[in-house]
Amino acid sequence: MTAHNHPDLALATPALAPFLPAAANDAAAPRRPVAVRIPAIRLFGLDLADITPDRAVAELLAPGRRRVAFLNAHCGNVMARDPDYAATLATADMVLPDGIGVELAARMTGRRFTANLNGTDLVPQVMAEAARRGLSVFLFGAAPGVARAAAQRLARDTPNLRIAGTRDGYEGARDTAAAIAEINASGADILLVAMGVPLQDCWLADHAHELSPRITMGVGALFDFLSGRVARAPLALRRMHMEWCWRLALEPRRLFGRYVTGNAAFLIRAARDALACGGTLGLKRRTLDLALAGGALLALGPLMLLIAVAIRLESPGPALFRQTRIGRDGRPFTVFKFRSMYRDAEARRAALLAGSDREGICFKARNDPRVTRMGRLLRRTSLDELPQILNILRGEMSVVGPRPALPEEVAAYPARARERLACRPGLTGLWQVSGRAELSFERMVEMDIAHARSASILLDLVVIALTFRALWTGRGAY
């Protein structure tokens, strides 16, 4: 289905000075101005929308004209060998991520899409909202009779949806002038074109100035799915497909044949694109994360089991503590820690805020009465953080990065502090190796921003090495 003045850190950590650049690089890569300013992830030179389906529907139907395209693995493969198609996608008002191939390509750069906006699921949602607003739709493309059958299905599934007309993509598409005249005469607000890539998107771009519908979308095989001409794979199979594609990315054979091979080729191209477009660091850091976290889990598994037993013996409740934290780009996730407090700790937090030993937003108390005896030992040695190995393996955290903050802390952030959210939070970082809780919130923010701007594998390795020294001294750990 087809459808985007850091501070001198040497003052805090002299050992890091040789590894830091003279100045942070604030220059952002040039981007083409877009009509709709929405969150996006940059892949293959395109800004792919990083939004929920509900917001996608709202953005698509917002006032104004827009040309919309979807990008899946097949589209990416075609784009790689067709510069005209690549240019067409680059000029679209919105490009939506469609399919597991694009999602995995984003993960190679250390990012995750909020949602997979595949056309088969999204277009019916668009049609439902269009019906509510009294908008009409014209279906153009596919084999004779397919567009009409698809329109009947949409009308049946979407009460009050106005079908302005249909036209097939064979004989009906031969006379371009006649096709455009019929589409415009229908008074349609939305035009769906299903002629496959690259034809559908290039056709829409070439005739954008002639078409009256204010919303135009290339939707690939959607009409075939809607008409029942092509059956869609069961949901369980589609979910399993992600793991299959990942395992077969470097050895594409059997199973789905050309389908999997196409996704594998797309993923290989995604890796090459990340390397060519400055994504080398992201790939290397993720590889480092997986290697270190995987090795640590194997080596420290028995110790973690003993810690869990000790926690349960001292106080009732689960050994693991789960808490919502804010990660990269402001997305919430569940962080794992060994429980170092009594079960009612969260309920007692508000009463202790006035006694924080730390200036600024983040709460920290040296003699926190909520901490258990075992918890004090875990905090002193930082062993309470070990379960975050799981967060690293899940891609929610990195080994090195800013510590993940609580939602209420992020809500109180000044504008500058929000730069901490530009990268994945880490198990360790400059703050941890430079004094931890002895540092002010403002100093922590400056250090995190500087590290994000000056990130390198060598710097990460130095921070990891210095982490062992910090664990030995226990400075700022309580």
Q: Is residue 364 in some structural domain?
A: yes
pLDDT over 70 (residue 155): yes
Instruction: Please choose, from the candidates 294, 243, 285, 312, the residue with its C-alpha nearest in 3D space to the C-alpha of residue 457.
Output: 285
Q: Is residue 122 in some structural domain?
A: no
> Mean pLDDT across the chain, nearest whole number?
79
Mean pLDDT, range 377-397, rounded to an integer: 90
- Per-residue pLDDT tens digits for 38-84: 899 988 889 999 999 999 999 999 999 999 999 998 898 888 889 99
pLDDT band per the 50, 70, 90 thresholds, residue 270: low
pLDDT over 90 (residue 17): no
Q: Is residue 216 in some structural domain?
A: no
Q: How many domains does the chain have?
A: 1
Beta carbons of 314 and 373 less than 8 angstroms apart: yes
pLDDT over 90 (residue 112): no
Q: Is residue 132 in some structural domain?
A: no
Instruction: Please choose, from the candidates 131, 130, 100, 105, the residue with its C-alpha nearest in 3D space to the C-alpha of residue 117.
Output: 100
**Region of residue 380 (left: phi > 0; alpha: psi -120 to 50; beta: else):** alpha
What is the structure's pLDDT at 184?
A: 97
Highest mean pLDDT among 11-25, 158-172, 226-240: 158-172
Structure tokens at 444: 């922590």
Q: Is residue 176 in some structural domain?
A: no
What is the structure's pLDDT at 21?
A: 40
Q: Is residue 376 in some structural domain?
A: yes
Task: Indicate whether this model's pTM tops 0.95.
Answer: no
Q: Is residue 147 in some structural domain?
A: no
Mean pLDDT, range 137-141, rounded to an integer: 97
Task: Report the alpha-carbon angle 140-143-144, nearest 5.
Answer: 85
Q: Is residue 229 in some structural domain?
A: no
Structure tokens at 427: 């198990």
User: What contacts 377, CB < 8 A, 6 or more positions away?
Assistant: 383
pLDDT over 80 (residue 283): no
Amino acid at 310: A
Task: Report the alpha-carbon angle 103-108-113, nearest 5.
Answer: 35
Measured over the CA atoms of residue 353, residue 358, residue 360 and residue 364, the dihedral's sign is negative
Mean pLDDT, range 203-208, rounded to an integer: 96
What is the structure's pLDDT at 281?
A: 57
- Least confident range from 143-152, 226-235, 297-306, 389-398: namely 226-235
Check residues 39 and 433 and name the one with the higher pLDDT: 39
* Separation of alpha carbons 82 and 359, rounded Å: 57
| Letter string b/e over residues 263-301, b meaning 16 or more CB atoms within 10 A of that residue's CB | bbbbbebbbebbeeeebeebeebbebbeebbeebbeeee
Check residues 294 and 28 and name the one with the higher pLDDT: 294
CB atoms within 10 A of CB 33: 5
In order of 21, 395, 458, the CA distances from 284 in angstroms are 19, 14, 11
User: What contacts 455, CB < 8 A, 6 or more positions away?
Assistant: 281, 285, 423
pLDDT band per the 50, 70, 90 thresholds, residue 457: confident
Q: Which domain holds residue 342?
A: 282-473
